[in-house]
Chain A
């Protein structure tokens, strides 16, 4: 359910993490980035309610184990940087390529298969990163340090300051002509026209909270990682034992026998939800790309997979589900993404 809803919202609001970060630099466009901040703000409020019900006193040293609260270290700057560069080159992050698959893209599968291979690189680097950094990096859960009220105030202040900075530094988008809202025009807006990014953001914050409450935090990479791990082990390319991986919170690649895990269903539902949204709006068709798009999708995908593996998640599992859970790891990853997207934007400007 949450997968289908997530896919539908992503497709309708064009909620693209790649463009959110990239277009800050390339087009000086702030709209999608503000949508992400709206998602984080809405999700923080929702998570706060869920946390409050489960852990009455957050300062006692008990951190909710299912939330994506992970060690915050320099590996996330590296992972975020690789992921940020990768998503700009591949034209979308992992969830972006999944929803584009639902729209009929033919470059998306190239990027996704490359991402699977990129996971192997992440697995290969894991033992080094784990012993050097991840094992000893601090797990910082803001409510543990500041209490719930303090953490929420701090987090909303960070989101507000970033939003204010974007609004101040980047020029205003084009004003839209006002249109009278009726029942039919309202339905048309939801199903046919694109949504404004902030509305998609709030919807994603709500979906994220429900997913966390009912099953697990939103995340898209653990299934891809699981397949990559299984295939890599069969080929002898991935070590059987990945030190520490199974003890950490996030989108881990857990080896199980099932063909489709819960996360696999979520990913399949995401693609299906996006397909339904695109089909309802008359946007579905098999789309051929130019050679350059495919050529960029390969290195882009490899970087996406590598970054998502060492960061234990992508723009959804680590950025959204991490920040919404008041984990410092989400914010460190965000800083890496920003740097990577800046480098990617500079590279694409040369290619255009």
Chain B
């Protein structure tokens, strides 16, 4: 696979676990290398936008055919 090689898989996690796991990662992830979050619960995206903006990251969303989404985080 090309692109970022850190993937946080939050599929099947119920709110608010995806956001909490991503927030923890953002707090400890010092290198600033891009990473991806994969999930299946759409409301999570709004929280991810908020977290990204708060920690100084940009986030782009892609929708996969099977209903999963991928959120690509890059450092601003």
Chain A residues engaging chain B, CB cutoff 8 angstroms: 14, 16, 18-19, 22-23, 26-27, 29, 31, 91-92, 107, 171, 173-174, 194, 282-283, 285, 287-290, 292-293, 296, 348-349, 351-352
Contact = CB atoms under 8 A, between A and B. Distances in A.
Contact of B19 (A27, A31, A194, A289): A27
Interface string B46-70: 1101111110000000000001000
Contact of A287 (B40, B47, B50, B51): B40
A293 B14 CA distance: 6
Contacts of B50: 27, 29, 173-174
Given A174-B49, A174-B50, A283-B67, A290 B42 contact: no
Nearest to B18: A352
B33 interface: no
Contacts of A19: 15-16, 43
Contacts of B16: 19, 22-23, 26-27, 348
Contacts of B12: 287-290, 293
B54 A171 contact: yes
Given A27-B47, A351-B17, 13 more contacts: A14-B42, A16-B43, A19-B43, A23-B16, A23-B47, A26-B16, A27-B51, A91-B14, A107-B14, A194-B43, A289-B14, A290-B13, A293-B14
Nearest to B19: A27
Contacts of B67: 282-283, 285
A14 B16 CA distance: 14
A63 B24 CA distance: 51
B21 interface: yes
A22 B43 CA distance: 14
B20 interface: yes
Contacts of A23: 16, 47
Nearest to B24: A352
A194 B42 contact: yes
B25 to A, nearest CB: 11
Contacts of B42: 14, 194, 283
A348 B41 CA distance: 18
Nearest to B16: A26
A29 B15 contact: no
Given A23-B16, A91-B15, A194-B43, A352 B49 contact: no
Nearest to B41: A287
A283 B66 CA distance: 10
A16 to B, nearest CB: 7
A168 to B, nearest CB: 18
Contacts of A348: 16-17, 20
A276 B71 CA distance: 26
Sorted from nearest, which 6 A-B pairs have the closest CB atoms?
A352-B20, A91-B14, A293-B14, A174-B53, A290-B12, A14-B43
Interface string B7-40: 0000011111101110110000000000000001
Contacts of B19: 26-27
Nearest to A296: B14
Nearest to B13: A290
Contacts of A289: 12-14
Contacts of B40: 287
Most central of B14, B15, B49, B52 by chain A CB within 10 Å: B14
Nearest to B43: A14
B21 to A, nearest CB: 6
18 contacts: A14-B42, A14-B43, A16-B15, A26-B19, A27-B16, A27-B51, A173-B50, A174-B49, A174-B50, A174-B52, A174-B53, A282-B67, A287-B40, A289-B13, A289-B14, A292-B14, A292-B17, A351-B17
